[in-house]
Structure 1
Amino acid sequence: MNKTYIIIFAFISCLSSVAQETLDAILQKYNQATIPYIHVEELHKTHEDVILLDAREKVEYDVSHIQNAIYVGYEQFQMQHITSQNIDKSKKIVVYCSLGVRSEDISEKLKKAGYKNVYNLYGGIFEWKNNDLPVVNPNNKKTEEVHVYSKEWSKWLRKGKKIY
């Protein structure tokens, strides 16, 4: 009888640890939820009507990015790159990175600069690709390759070819 309880307890413990390792949990751990999320399905329906900013590093962007996304970077981000483009501050802007952590930081900077309609792509380019949506290389050709940022984050990309 005790052996049965131990097995059940171990099974429940395993399920609990797996359940905690969700995208929601990761984003709650690293983000402050100061910027509203937009989900892949919604962005896909309207992405021609938004300004799409890629907040990953150049090496990640150069592997692939969402078509028409403007590279703004993270470590080298400069607000002047945005303001020099004379983007209407009421225009809908969606910022993305790998999962949605770095993009929240860049989105907060945009919000502080007066941009009023800024969203963070929930799950980033990984969720975009996981939903079978296309990414392009620097030559604007569709590719299956996606830079996964790190081994730790790579598990969140379930579709496409992982590039390190």
Structure 2
Amino acid sequence: MSEGMVRDLDPREAIRLIQDGGGDPELLILDVRTPQEHERIRIEGSVNLDLHSPAFLAEVSALDRRKAYLVYCLVGVRSRAAAEAMARLGFGEVFNLAGGIRSWTKLGLPTVGR
């Protein structure tokens, strides 16, 4: 299985990726923070898989490697680690939200949550 590459996107590039996809089922937004963080504030439509969960690698391994993934966390550290793990597992298109949801919200980009 070939190893994929991770590309960092700033929030403006990430929102363009989401909008250009127009809700494309081939793009999955993956939040790798804790369930509590995800519940509080998140990018709409994101799926939560906690990087620090013992089940993380098994859950990620079950995902479709043909899809594109935008991975984010709070500031970009956990998401970078998760994205690199996904690339090692053979995921071809993996994007890391540089600066995480913190940089996303600083630009006033849309979120949902409590």
- Give percent identity, aligned residues only: 26
For structure 1, list consecutive stretches of 5 or more residues without a partner in the other structure.
1-33, 138-142, 144-164
Residue aligning to 2:49: 72
Matched, 1:39 2:1: no
**Secondary structure at the residue paired with 1:82?**
helix
Distance 1:84 1:122 in 2: 25
Any idea what the Cα deviations from partners look like across 1:1-42, whole Å, max 9, x if unmatched?
xxxxxxxxxxxxxxxxxxxxxxxxxxxxxxxxx732011111
Which of the residues 99, 111, 115 maps onto 2:87?
A: 111
1:50-69 to 2 correspondence within 5 Å?
Answer: 50-69=27-46
Residue aligning to 2:62: 84
Distance 1:79 1:69 in 2: 18
How far residue 81 of structure 1 moved from its aligned partner, in angstroms, is 1.9
Any idea what the Cα deviations from partners look like across 1:41-93, whole Å, max 9, x if unmatched?
111122134211001111111101100110011210523323434x2x23221
Higher relative contact order (CA 8 A, sep 6+): 2
Pair member with larger Rg:
1
Normalising by structure 2, we get a TM-score of: 0.80
Distance 2:36 2:16 in 1: 28
* Higher percent of residues as helix: 1
Distance 2:6 2:60 in 1: 18
Which of the residues 65, 90, 98 maps onto 2:74?
A: 98
Is the 8 Å Cα contact of residues 61 and 89 (structure 2) preserved in structure 1? no
Distance 2:72 2:82 in 1: 9
Is the 8 Å Cα contact of residues 33 and 51 (structure 2) preserved in structure 1? yes
Normalising by structure 1, we get a TM-score of: 0.57
Matched, 1:135 2:106: no
**Secondary structure at the residue paired with 2:71?**
strand
Between Structure 1 and Structure 2, how many residues are aligned? Answer: 103
Distance 1:43 1:36 in 2: 11
